[in-house]
Amino acid sequence: MLNFMLNLIVTVFFTIFTLQIPSNLLDAVAARLEDFNAIADNPVTYELLGQTDNDTSAILYLEPISRATGDAYPGVVDWGVATLNNGIWTVYLPGDPGYTSAYESISSNVLSRADSTPYTIRADPAFADIGGYQLPWADGAWATVTRSYRRHGTGRIDFDVSGREITTVKDGIIVYANDTHHTNTYSSAAWWYWNTVIIQHSEHEFSLYGHIEPDSIPQWIKDACTTDLSTANCFVPITAGDTIAFEGSTGYSSNPHLHLEFGQGFSVAAYMDVADEDGDGVRAEPMYAGYVYAEQNVGLSGYTPSEVAAWQFGTLQQATHHPAPPIGINLLQNGDFSADTQSWTPLGQLNWELADGVLRITRLRTTDPPDWASFYQDVENGVQAHTPFEAKIRLGNASSIAKTITVSVFNRYGRQYGIFECAFELPANAPLTMYTIRGSAVNTWANLRFLVSVNPPDGAPAALVDDISLQVLNEPTRNQCITPTS
């Protein structure tokens, strides 16, 4: 009889409460919350904080209260939905069947005004001056921005990492890890059915990685955590760039992606197992979700918080986990060609020779592809966006034909990912003279390429190149092409 009564209560819960006579919205909400809060063994109750509404629909701001302690979960405001059809208000709470379709039917007038931030815990500006975050996927790999801070909310950003590994953004301590959930609850907005890893980076600094693939947290991390998911269950030191899980689609997720979130606090909430994920037939039992609160926008890999907020859907970003290059040190090898052309690679239709320690380059007189003549060197140091550089190079021309020598610094994966370069015009028979190029990495680059190109074609090695250096500057710079007469 007890099991029968429990199942009856749960059945009542899963039948959306509808007020059977036309009434105002607050009456409908009050009746629905009373019904929800009366469910036996429900680990959470709701209190209405406020709402945004019009004549046909509403967003309800709900504060979840722990039945065990009587305290609100810090920083959590769940959204309920109410719609009016044929004079009857229907109220949907997170976890109810049909929640998502009801939410999608809400008028744009209500959605444009919906804002629960007045009821949340705001980030303390005293702890907001932080940095050192990198992009959370494998070194050199790319991911796509699907929602930035501006679209997803303060401190929240989504990436499509194509099912690959997720890496931590910064050194810290894993304080919570859960990859036991396998349920997707997008239809009911049950956000608490997600798998998460939460890392503490300092006293008021946390990062969360959500929707991760079930059973994808590395075993060495699990071995250092407990199985009690109702509280902080880990104390695992982690280094920036370490793999912590794989991308998944658990919880409130329409497609596989990584949800990344930054906050100043961390807690664990308990909700009902509304989808009976464990298959035991009991839904009025607790399921636990780790979360962060007092969210704040942070910069990533050299981008400012405002730049990250402005990223558009579909923006590609490349991660780099290399240490930052040392400032003021030449990053190029054999820039004086004392070791012949070691570390340098010829590219295209060219001829060259070394004479008196000077590299002499000619673009060949041919119409065969390719239509360039270059020498390049790849630098294994990765750099963050906006890293400032200065390159110095001695250039000359031993030919009776004027030359154009172009010096380029860019991401070796392609010029389309950002480049700064200078094309220097050298008259015939110009002696070796020092030229300078300054600029900044436009985006995050996993590897740099330094390239010297020569035009036009000629009959003998004629362009003179020597004493090349590339170094990181200690202050920002604008793009500059500095000639001896500048």
CATH code of 463's domain: 2.60.120.260
Measured CA to CA, the distance from residue 137 to residue 441 in angstroms comes to 20
If asked whether residues 289 and 361 sit together in one domain, one would say no
If asked whether residues 139 and 96 sit together in one domain, one would say no
Q: What is the pLDDT of residue 23?
A: 55
Q: What is the pLDDT of residue 24?
A: 87
If asked whether residues 114 and 133 sit together in one domain, one would say no
If asked whether residues 354 and 430 sit together in one domain, one would say yes
If asked whether residues 144 and 216 sit together in one domain, one would say yes
Q: What is the pLDDT of residue 486?
A: 66
Q: What is the pLDDT of residue 250?
A: 95
Range of the domain at 81: 2-119
If asked whether residues 64 and 140 sit together in one domain, one would say no
Let me know if residue 332 belongs to a domain: no
Q: pLDDT in tens for each of the 486 residues of the chain? A: 434 344 434 444 444 444 333 358 999 999 999 999 999 899 999 999 999 999 999 999 999 999 999 999 999 999 999 999 988 999 999 999 999 999 999 999 999 999 999 999 999 999 987 889 999 999 999 999 999 999 999 999 999 999 999 999 999 999 999 999 999 999 899 999 999 999 999 999 999 999 999 999 999 999 999 999 999 999 999 999 999 999 999 999 999 999 999 999 999 999 999 989 989 999 999 999 999 999 999 999 999 999 999 999 999 999 999 888 999 999 999 999 999 999 999 999 999 999 999 999 999 999 899 998 999 999 988 999 999 999 999 999 999 999 999 999 999 999 999 999 999 999 999 999 999 999 999 899 999 999 999 999 988 778 999 999 999 999 999 999 999 876
- Of the candidates 95, 34, 90, the one whose C-alpha atom is nearest the C-alpha of residue 57 is 90
Let me know if residue 306 belongs to a domain: yes
Q: What is the gyration radius of the CA atoms in the chain, in angstroms? A: 30
If asked whether residues 362 and 376 sit together in one domain, one would say yes
Are the CB atoms for 41 and 27 separated by under 8 Å?
no
**H or E, element range at 108:** helix 108-113
**H or E, element range at 43:** none
Are the CB atoms for 125 and 290 separated by under 8 Å?
no
If asked whether residues 110 and 203 sit together in one domain, one would say no
